[in-house]
């Protein structure tokens, strides 16, 4: 796509930066909101031989309507869900539109190295809450990866990527059929060897499995399954061949249950959220390394305290015992209990010196 800042797509979305890797930042001129556009390349059989002036090709239009139907069903009220605005076709590209508040992609933070356990738990609790709202609405996400999560300026995680995931799955089904080898091949091309995208089962249980994969990735810096290629990855998932979760610290038992091959043995998103809330309620104050990690995501330095929402969040608070007129909380030079004897001794010494002076002058 050859476009730059100022270019308008679909008569509504004005680009604010030069697009790259089928992504573009824009402003919705209808609402003034910042949005993120993600593009999916449509094969020629869906768009070939069609005059753009005649509108969207029928098959591409069906994809747009399918994506839009999911977007309109998803709960728009949840504070941890990025709202999917819709989709449109421009040439040979299917674009999905999603709100984009200020923040940093989780993939960017994860690239810097493993996250401290309690920081990862905070993010996972946010994501579990977002998944629960989707599951209660009768939807599954299917695209829970570090790329689809945004860490906002207050340190909270917001789950996006719902509409791009729906578009990929719909395209794979249109081109490869509802199942079989052909659909697998198309999906492998669209999705690639990303472990979170290849659960043995779909639906809410598959989302929870993907959350377990993402948690272990954040805690260890790598996927629990090999990602050299899709065949190797899918075989390892099917055979249950993965790295142990023992290195996940206090989250190891939860990760182990989330990655159970039997979906009936995995906790639900709501159970994950409640378990993490209990873990965070007893979290120790962050060590220097963990505090530094939190500062990277724009969280103010300070001890771990309860937020108004009832979960552990770091906040800048004054140190106990400090106040105006104190010397940084240091103890006084003379303990209060010795002030009386010291004063009496000083008076006595002055009297002695006075007597000595009188004797010397009189002598």
Check pLDDT > 50 for residue 194: yes
In whole angstroms, give the CA distance from residue 178 to residue 223. Answer: 28
Question: Using an 8 Å Cβ cutoff, are 122 and 313 in contact?
Answer: yes
Q: How confident is the model at residue 137 (pLDDT cuts 50, 70, 90)?
A: very high
Fold topology of 102-310: Transferase(Phosphotransferase); domain 1 (1.10.510)
What DSSP character marks residue 250? Answer: G
Give the Cα separation of 307 and 188 in Å (integer).
Answer: 42
What's the rounded mean pLDDT across residues 40-52?
69
Q: What is the largest CA-CA distance in the chain?
A: 129
CB 68 within 8 A of CB 86: yes
Look at residue 166 in the predicted model and tell me its pLDDT: 97
- The domains of the chain are located at 102-310
Tokens 């930066």: give the residue.
Answer: 17
Instruction: Note the residue count of the chain.
Output: 363
Q: Provide the pLDDT confidence category of residue 183 given band limits of 50, 70 and 90.
A: very high
Question: Would you list the DSSP string of 175-238?
Answer: HH-SSSHHHHHHHHHHH-S-GGG--SS-HHHHHHHHHHHHHHHHHHSS-SS--S-HHHHHHHHH
Per residue in 157-181, pLDDT (tens digit) is: 999 999 999 999 999 999 988 878 9
The residue among 250, 257, 255 whose CA lies nearest residue 215 is 255
Which of helix, strand or coil describes residue 13? strand
Q: How confident is the model at residue 287 (pLDDT cuts 50, 70, 90)?
A: low
Please state the pTM of the whole predicted model. 0.77
Band (286; pLDDT cuts 50, 70, 90)? low
For residue 324, pLDDT over 50 is answered with no
Q: What is the pLDDT of residue 327?
A: 40
Please name which of 182, 184, 193, 187 lies closest in space to residue 229, comparing C-alpha atoms.
Answer: 193
* pLDDT at res. 54: 58
Residue 283 has pLDDT above 70, yes or no: yes
Taking the CB of residue 211, how many other CB atoms lie within 10 A of it?
Answer: 25
Give me the pLDDT at residue 284, please: 84
Q: Mean pLDDT score of the chain, rounded to an integer? A: 83
- Opening angle at CA 280, ends 275 and 285, nearest 5: 160
Give me 323's structure tokens: 């106040």
pLDDT digit string (tens) for 289-321?
555 555 444 433 333 233 333 333 333 323 333
> Tens digit of pLDDT for each residue in 239-269?
999 999 999 999 999 999 999 999 999 999 9
Q: What is the DSSP string of 55-111?
A: -S-HHHHHHHHHHHHHHHHS-S--TTBPPEEEEEEETTEEEEEEE--SEEEHHHHHT
Going by pLDDT thresholds of 50, 70 and 90, the confidence category of residue 87 is very high
In whole angstroms, give the CA distance from residue 171 to residue 64. 10
pLDDT beyond 80 at 336: no
- CA distances from residue 231 to 73, 237, 242, 285 in whole angstroms, order as listed: 34, 10, 15, 43
- Cβ atoms of 359 and 352 within 8 Å: the answer is no
Edge-to-edge strand ranges of the sheet holding 93-99: 8-9, 13-15, 23-28, 34-41, 93-99, 84-90
**Cα(145)–Cα(123) distance, integer angstroms:** 12
34 has which bridge partners? Answer: 27
Would you state the pLDDT for residue 177?
84
């Amino acid at each position: 796509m050859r476009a730059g800042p100022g270019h308008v797509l679909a008569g509504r979305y004005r680009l604010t930066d030069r697009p790259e890797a089928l992504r573009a930042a824009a402003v919705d001129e209808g609402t003034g909101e910042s949005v993120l556009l993600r593009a999916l390349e449509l094969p020629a059989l869906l768009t070939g031989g069609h005059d753009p002036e005649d509108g969207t090709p029928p098959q591409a239009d069906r994809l747009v309507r399918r994506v839009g139907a999911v977007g309109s069903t998803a709960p728009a009220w949840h504070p941890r869900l990025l709202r999917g605005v819709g989709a449109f076709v421009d040439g040979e590209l299917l674009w999905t539109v999603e709100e984009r508040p200020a923040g940093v992609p989780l993939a960017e933070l994860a690239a810097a190295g493993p996250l401290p356990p309690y920081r990862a738990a905070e993010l996972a609790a946010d994501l579990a809450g977002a998944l629960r709202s989707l599951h209660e609405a009768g939807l599954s996400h299917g695209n829970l990866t570090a790329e689809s999560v945004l860490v906002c300026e207050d340190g909270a995680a917001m789950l996006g990527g719902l509409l791009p995931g729906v578009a990929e799955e719909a395209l794979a089904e249109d081109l490869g059929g509802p199942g079989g080898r052909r659909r697998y091949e198309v999906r492998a091309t669209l999705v690639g060897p990303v472990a979170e995208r290849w659960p043995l089962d779909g639906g809410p249980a598959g989302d929870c499995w993907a959350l377990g994969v993402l948690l272990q990735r954040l805690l260890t810096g790598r996927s629990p399954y090999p990602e050299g290629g899709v065949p190797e990855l899918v075989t390892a998932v099917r055979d249950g061949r993965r790295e142990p979760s023992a290195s996940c610290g206090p989250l190891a038992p939860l990760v182990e249950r989330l990655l159970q091959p039997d979906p009936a043995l995995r906790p639900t998103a709501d159970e994950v959220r409640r378990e993490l809330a209990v873990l965070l309620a007893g979290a120790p104050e962050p060590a220097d390394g963990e505090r530094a990690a939190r500062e990277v995501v724009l969280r103010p330095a300070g001890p771990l305290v309860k937020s108004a929402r009832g979960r552990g969040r770091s906040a800048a608070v004054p140190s106990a015992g400090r106040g105006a007129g104190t010397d940084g909380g240091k103890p006084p030079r003379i303990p209060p209990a010795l002030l009386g004897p010291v004063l009496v001794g000083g008076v006595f010494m002055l009297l002695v010196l006075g007597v000595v002076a009188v004797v010397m002058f009189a002598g």
